[in-house]
Structures are given as structure tokens and as C-alpha cells.
Amino acid sequence: MKFNDLQKIWDSQNNKPMYVIREEVLHQKVLAKARKAGRTANTTEWILILTGLIAAGILVYFDFIKDEGNTFSFISVVLFSLITVYGLINRILRKNKTENFDRSVLGDLEHALSISEYQVSLSKGMLYGFWPAVFFISLLSLIMSDKPIWYSIIFGLLFIGVSFLSRWEHRCYVRRRNELATLKKKLTEEPI
């Protein structure tokens, strides 16, 4: 081979991208991320619904059937019932929304991103709205029920532990959402 032939080959290779994305492999990875996000949202919703039902049932039984409850016990029952309804409604809306996405790499990525954003907003609502409200109302209910002070201390420590774990969980959801958003940005930006 002559130098000119080698130079022509070299120049033709320089115009090609250094790597090629295999669309099918990428699509499978996106689908796996969407399934993982869907399973996580599904599990979170069922935990939310069942926790609300069980907590409301326990409060009704112990505070109203066995004992005469106070105002804060009643508010707690209403709050747990509302969170159950909230979980059910959000689940139905999320399930109905899944049909609005294309069955392509980008459509499935947008679907995974949508579920991930839903999970982040649900987690944020629980972390900054629901848990503090439940804590204060339940603490006031404990104080009004003439229980020993160590009940309130144990409850406070339990709340601190739940808050710590909820913040950690929320950061995991945010990280997953950001990974999906970065992937979408890379796929939709124009090549140089």
C-alpha cells in the first residue's frame, strides 16, 4: 500500500463516529429501568395504601372501640384515611398515564422518566408533608391520652429513624431520575 492509499483510509475513518450505540441493547436497558421504576412505584403505592388502612383501623379499634378517643386520635384516623385515598387515586392516575407513551427507545425512556418523577414527587410529599403531620398529631394524641412519657420518647426516636430513612430513600429516587434525565438529554441532543 502506498502512503496516499493509507491516508485515504485514515481520512474516511475519521469521519465516522468512534463508537456506535446498539439501539436494541439501549432499548432493553431503558425497558429494564422503566420496569424497575414501575415496580418501585407499585410497591410504594401499596405500602402507602396498606399502611394507611392498617393505621386507621388500629386507631379506630384502640381509641374508639376499646377506649374513648380524643380529638387528635380522630384527626389521625382522618389523616390516615386520606392518605389511603390519596395513594389509590395516584395509583389509578399513574396506571392510566402509561398508555400515553410511544413504544420506542425515546418513548420508553420518557415513560421511565415520568414514573421516576412521580416517585420523587410522592417521596417528597411523604417526607415533607405527611410524616411531620402524622408525627405532631400522633405525639399530641399520646400526650393527651395520659400515657407514660417514655411512650412519647420512643415515638419521637422512631420518627427520627423513619425521617432519616425517608431522606435516604428520597435521595435514591432523585439520583435515578437524574440518571434518566441525563440519558434523555444525551439521546435528544444534536450530534456535533
**Quick check: is 12 in a domain?**
no
**Quick check: is 15 in a domain?**
no
Say how many domains are in the chain.
1
**Quick check: is 143 in a domain?**
yes
**pLDDT 10s digits, 96-107:** 887 777 787 788
**Quick check: is 6 in a domain?**
no
Tell me the C-alpha distance between 117 and 170, whole Å.
11
**pLDDT 10s digits, 6-58:** 566 666 665 555 455 677 777 788 888 888 888 888 888 888 888 888 888 88
Q: What share of the chain is helix, strand, coil (3-state, %, to 5)?
A: 85, 0, 15
Query: Which residues lie below 8 Å from residue 124, measured CB to CB, with a gap of 6+?
Result: 170
Tell how far CA 17 is from the center of its chain.
37
**Quick check: is 116 in a domain?**
yes
**Quick check: is 11 in a domain?**
no
As given in the structure block, the three cell numbers for residue 66 are 376499646
CB 73 within 8 A of CB 59: yes
**pLDDT 10s digits, 122-165:** 888 888 888 788 788 877 777 777 777 777 788 778 888 888 88
- How far is the first Cα of the chain from the last one, in angstroms, to the nearest whole number? 33
CB 131 within 8 A of CB 80: no
Instruction: Determine the average pLDDT of the residues in 67-90.
Output: 81
Tell me the C-alpha distance between 159 and 186, whole Å.
40
Print the domain residue range for 126: 24-188
**Quick check: is 154 in a domain?**
yes
**Quick check: is 153 in a domain?**
yes
CB 87 within 8 A of CB 45: yes
